[in-house]
A = this chain, B = another copy of it.
Amino acid sequence: MKNHNKYSQVNHIKVNNGQTVEELLSEFRSSGVFGPGRIAEAIEVFTEMLQNKATVFLGIAGALVPGGMRKVLVDLIRNDMVNVIVSTGANVTHDLIEAFGGRHIHKVPYTSDAELREKSIDRIYDAFVSDESFMKLEDGLQPIFQEIWDERSENKQLSLTTYKLLEIIGSKISDKDSFVLAAYEKKIPIFVPAFSDSILGLQLWLFSQTHKVFIDVMGDLSKIQQIASDSDKAGTFFLGGGVPKNYIFQSRLMSPKTYEYAIQITMDRVETGGLSGASLEEAISWGKTSGKSKMVTVVSDITIALPLIFAGTLANMQRDE
């Protein structure tokens, strides 16, 4: 039998009253296994990604804004931890709902979804949003669309990439807790490849009934591929899978480079073959990442793991300064 003393020990996590999050995450790191181990590893990979000036591509899927993650998204941006965002239309929609005075609510008692419908309340698992909030979105967006039209239409046409449209919208709102505003201020592009697949997209479609408006999907592709190609080093931080994960991965597919870093938080499974749950190792076979890339998958509700990973990385980065 070999001597196994060379291997490091699983140190059991010690919780103390008054402990800081940073101290608890240090316990997670010295445990090093299962979920806490993966969270600690994600913090390490994210920190190295930032220290090595990799271009960070953040993918946002799932109900993150209704799920209370809006400030974390803003702080990721404000602390220079993100360079490019690819989002579902829904997360931008829900960010703007709050920017225009709408709200996400909780602890709404109900006995059936039909009862909620009667009360004009829409349910997202145990978060809720009223039809009234969607009206505020409409009331906020339509005048902005008109302004953009007035400023930018040519020959009675307006064609915009999604990142440009969101940059302009960002410039016209004032809610400091909006990640669309924060991204505008930090000059970080937000791409929404499935723009039409959201209330935001439906709002633009409404506007398009009276104005010739086009979404320049190909322009988005040119821009993100340019960024990916210009990036010496690049890393991904996938909050969920879906379109954002694939779109980010494919953006470096046409270049000889791969993503040197990749982090994903997901509850999707690997065995069904879908990309959302696919392992990051699989991406090596496609040339999206390489055998030398540093990669970590955290299997968790994003809304639990993301605040912890952000907190740990923030502490690392501020300690370095």
B196, A218: Cβ atoms closer than 8 Å: yes
Q: How far is the CA of A197 from the CA of B87 in the complex (A)?
A: 12
Contact of A196 with B220 at beta-carbon distance under 8 Å, contacts A15-B72, A72-B13 already known: yes
B269 in contact with A24 (CB, 8 Å): no
Q: Mark A55-76, 1 if CB is under 8 A from B, else 0.
A: 0000001110011111110010
Task: Please choose the segment from A146-154, A182-190, A228-236, A296-304 that sits at the chain B interface, where 4 or more of its residues have CB less than 8 A away.
Answer: A296-304
So how many copies of this chain end up in the complex? 4
Name which of A34-42, A43-51, A166-174 contacts chain B.
A34-42
Interface size classification for chain A: 35 or more
Q: A68-B36, A311-B24 are in contact. Are A17 and B106 (CB under 8 A)?
A: no
- Of A15, A177, A202, most buried by chain B (CB within 10 Å of CB) is A15
Say if the beta carbon of A18 comes within 8 Å of chain B: yes
Tell me whether B14 and A275 are in contact (CB under 8 A).
no
Report A207-260 residues with CB < 8 Å from chain B CB.
208, 213-218, 220-222, 225, 240, 242-243, 246-247, 250, 253-254
With a CB–CB cut-off of 8 A, which chain B residues contact A33?
66-68, 104, 106, 125-127, 273, 303
Are A246 and B90 in contact, with the CB atoms below 8 A? Answer: yes
Contact A299/B269 with A68-B34, A196-B217, A286-B122 known, Cβ cut-off 8 Å: yes
Bound form: Cα–Cα A242–B243 in Å: 8
- Chain B CB within 8 A of A263 CB: no
Shortest beta-carbon distance, A145 to chain B, in Å?
A: 12
Distance, CA A194 to CA B39, complexed state (A): 31
> In the bound complex, how far is the Cα of B21 from the Cα of A63, in angstroms?
24
Pick the contact of A304: B9, B36, B177 (CB < 8 A).
Answer: B36
Nearest-neighbor residue (CB-CB) of A123 within chain B: B285
Chain B residues within 8 Å of A220, by CB: 196
User: Whole-angstrom distance between the alpha carbons of A33 and B105 in the complex?
Assistant: 9
Cα distance, A144 to B117, chains bound together (Å): 47
> A27 — nearest CB in chain B belongs to which residue?
B307
Point out the residue from B193, B194, B287, B299 that lies within 8 Å of A271, measured CB to CB.
B299
Q: A15-B314, A90-B246, A304-B39 are in contact. Are A291 and B112 (CB under 8 A)?
A: yes
Task: Chain B residues near A119: list those with CB within 8 A.
Answer: 2, 4
Query: What are 18 inter-chain pairs, A to B, with CB distance below 8 A?
Result: A1-B131, A7-B106, A10-B67, A13-B72, A17-B318, A18-B22, A33-B127, A34-B63, A34-B68, A37-B106, A63-B275, A90-B275, A113-B281, A123-B282, A205-B218, A243-B243, A272-B302, A304-B305
Chain A positions within 8 Å of B, measured between CB atoms, are 1-2, 4, 7-15, 17-22, 24, 27, 31-37, 39, 61-63, 66-72, 75, 90, 103-108, 112-114, 116-117, 119-128, 130-132, 159, 177, 193-199, 201-202, 204-205, 208, 213-218, 220-222, 225, 240, 242-243, 246-247, 250, 253-254, 267-276, 278, 281-287, 290-291, 299-305, 307, 310-311, 314-315, 318
